[in-house]
Structure 1
Amino acid sequence: MRLGVLDIGSNTGHLLVVDAHGGAAPLPAFSYKEPLRLAEHLDDAGAVSQTGIDALTAFTAQALVVAEDKGCEDMLGFATSAVRDAVNSEAVLDHVHERTGVRIEVLSGEDEARLTFLAVRRWFGWSAGRLAVFDIGGGSLEIAGGKDEAPDVAWSLPLGAARLARQFFGGARPDDEAIRQLRKEIRAEIARDAGNLLRAGSPDRAAATSKTFRSLARICGAAPSGDGPLVPRSLPLQQLREWIPKLIAIPPDELADLPGVSPSRTHQIVPGALVAEACMDIFDLTELEICPWALREGVILERLDQISVLG
């Protein structure tokens, strides 16, 4: 069957059209996305602004047209931390539903981590053994670990790259004190619940998903996306540590010249790099393998599993 998966993230709205069948890997057929930057459209009270609501509504309406044009039988819509954490999230999604007819579900942080873990497990398979998964989004960091398809532990932290850039840098170039404070907060947040994952011992395999991790891996020498998803990619801790001072020193308008960095995300590279470094350091990992499957694939796979059971 052909499915449309509407992913409303903190940075981007993304419709992925896939041909999906039980027992087969979801095959991407078409992609449509727009930079919504909802994490940056939150006002001082924590509500999505009217500008953000209008952008989300317009994108959803267009995504529905695209999904219908591409022959989708169904569309699965979900939103992550920017909408989840907004004080007016229910009103925002009701507005979108009234204007477009599309009902978008808000995923909890735990569900986001769980579904991402499912996708990574299916990608690497049972040979991965006990698996640890990290995902840096625009609004949150998800961590999960376990030896089965459902993780033993899964949780979410308010350490998304866009969120941190807004909170600590405010659009300005970070100074040494801002970097120190950011680094301190990141590590305290991650370390607070690190025992959830560490109690079971070191993972046999540690993987990372998301645009932030892919960009950092590319900066550190990983193969470009054009080489295809089957090429192994990783983010080594030592190389990341060597790059962080350089990333801080590079003027923001020049960061987009680096491989794998899009102009709309240059302000998120330094916070994302500090979160990635902290994850590897605190969990004693020398590198993270980059997995091309993430939350969207997890949503698709769970839906196919449900259809299979019902069938």
Structure 2
Amino acid sequence: MCRSRTRIAGAEADTPPFKQRRPARIPHPDVRAACIDIGSNTTRLLVAEPDAARPGHLTEVAAQRAFIRLTAQERRRGVPADKAQAIAEAVSEQARAARGHGAGALRVVATAALREAEGRDALLARLESAAGVRVEVLSGAEEARLAFAGATAGLPAGTGLVLVADVGGGSTELAAGVPGGAVQWWASLPIGSGALADAHLPGDPPTAGQLAAARAQARAALDAAGCPPATVAWAVGGSATSLRRLCGPELSTAALERALARVCAAPAAETAAGLGLHLERVRLLPAGLVLLGEVARTASCTLHVGGGGLREGVVLDLLGQVG
């Protein structure tokens, strides 16, 4: 088992992700549960219920998404009032939707967006008032555990070592293990699509030199984390999901390079219109593609677009289906 034991390149120390207090689980597994995920790029809702025909799988009941991007500078200096208001409104609307769809339990989580944000306590109090429940800021370890559970739910035993890469806006969580078992290795890197774009990709579209600088930072972070080679790797998060339209379900090195060339061939507004994607998502796709390409290189295997991730992992945890 490969473990990252230090804070090399900003990776969180590799403490076991299983001692954190977990929320109360739903006593009856046939009810619906919901997760609101407050990220650096989006605030998203998932309402789901167990799939009776496929143990370990979920059936989506409802989903919502609000693009509210928090830059690294905004997180360091404090979330601006207009964005705090927008997040609170999105959380309030999504909490109402979750209850309207019959969710028996709702868990609201925040990731790197608020993990180290200046003045986060006041914002958390505001968001808890909007949601009507506690808002939990996940550690990197807990985020990795839940993303791994959501991405590997239903995979057959004997798959081998599975790597899950959750590329968010402010951070990238990596977790490796076997389906149905505990995470054996994990790392949380302080680079996500938003952070990498802010640091290196000001161009619209980015230049070759800017992309090279972004790739160098991503490669250094992945190499320092000591990611173990895997049998199969799954990519989750907004960037990976958006890539289905460009690459299909398999993110080979060649497919990622073709996609990067396409999204960097024209300004983001033109590309967004052509692909039918949100403008903010397209602006971040070059950084996401660079990160995923480096994950594939480090893991020594082809990436696949995962059908689930953090939100699915949270719902499965609420339903008592995560060990």
TM-score when scaled to structure 2?
A: 0.81
For residues 45 and 121 of structure 1, what CA distance do their matches in structure 2 show? 33
* 1:243 Cα offset (Å): 3.6
Q: Is 1:252 matched up with 2:268?
A: yes
Query: Secondary structure, in 3 states, of the residue corresponding to 1:256?
Result: helix
- Secondary structure of the residue aligned to 1:124 is coil
**CA–CA separation in structure 1 for the residues paired with 2:74 and 2:85:** 15
Amino acid aligned to 1:9 = G
**Secondary structure in structure 1 of the residue aligned to 2:153:** helix
Give the Å deviation of 1:284. 2.1
Q: Which residue in 2 is equivalent to 1:226?
A: none
Could you tell me how far apart the structure 2 residues matched to 1:57 and 1:151 are?
A: 33
Q: CA deviation at 1:193?
A: 1.2
Structure 2 stretches lacking a partner, 5+ long: 1-30
- Report the AA paired with residue 320 of structure 2: D
3-state SS in 2 of match to 1:15: strand
Question: SS of 2:200's equivalent?
Answer: helix
Contact 1:215 1:260 in 2 (8 A): no
CA distance in 2, matches of 1:156, 1:41: 16
State the match for 2:305 in structure 1.
290
Structure 1 pair 257–127 and aligned structure 2 pair: CA distance change class (3 A): farther
Is 1:130 aligned to 2:161, yes or no? Answer: yes
Is 1:269 the counterpart of 2:285 in the alignment? yes
Q: Aligned equivalents of 2:130 and 2:292: distance in 1?
A: 39
In structure 2, the partner of 1:185 is 217
More displaced, 76-85 or 44-53? 44-53
8 Å CA contact 1:173–1:252 kept in 2: the answer is: yes
The separation in 2 between residues aligned to 1:260 and 1:112, in whole angstroms, is 29
Is the partner of 2:320 in helix, strand or coil? helix
Match of 1:3 among 33, 40, 43: 33
Give the Cα–Cα distance (whole angstroms) in 1 for the partners of residues 274 and 158 of structure 2. Answer: 34
Q: Which residue does 1:113 correspond to in 2?
A: 144
How far apart, in 2, do the equivalents of 1:138 and 1:114 lie? 18
Measured after TM superposition, the shift of residue 186 of structure 1 is: 1.1
In structure 1, the partner of 2:316 is: 301
CA distance in 2 between counterparts of 1:269 and 1:98 reads 33
Distance apart, 1:294 and its partner CA: 0.7
Q: Is the CA contact 2:194–2:284 (under 8 Å) kept in the aligned structure 1?
A: yes
Q: 2:296 aligns with which of 266, 273, 280?
A: 280
Distance 2:223 2:294 in 1: 9
**Residue 73 of structure 1: how far off its partner (Å):** 2.1
RMSD value, Cα? 2.4
> Residue in 1 aligned with 2:46?
16
CA distance, structure 2, for counterparts of residue 17 and residue 193 of structure 1? 34
Q: 238-247 vs 125-134, which deviates more?
A: 238-247
Which structure: greater helix fraction?
1
Q: Hey, what's the Cα distance between the residues in 1 that align with 2:65 and 2:234? A: 25
The 5-angstrom pairing of residues 214-253 of structure 1 reads 214-220=241-247, 222=248, 233-253=249-269
Considering Cα pairs closer than 8 Å and 6+ residues apart, tell me whether 1 or 2 has the greater RCO: 2
1:218–1:259 contact (8 Å) kept in structure 2:
yes
**What letter corresponds to residue 193 of structure 2 in structure 1?**
A
User: What displacement does 1:255 show?
Assistant: 1.6
Instruction: Give the SS at the match of 2:263.
Output: helix
> Kindly, what percent of the aligned residue pairs are identical?
28
Deviation digits for residues 215-238 of structure 1 (CA, Å, limit 9, x no counterpart):
234312x1xxxxxxxxxx211112
The alpha carbon displacement at 1:258 in A equals 4.7
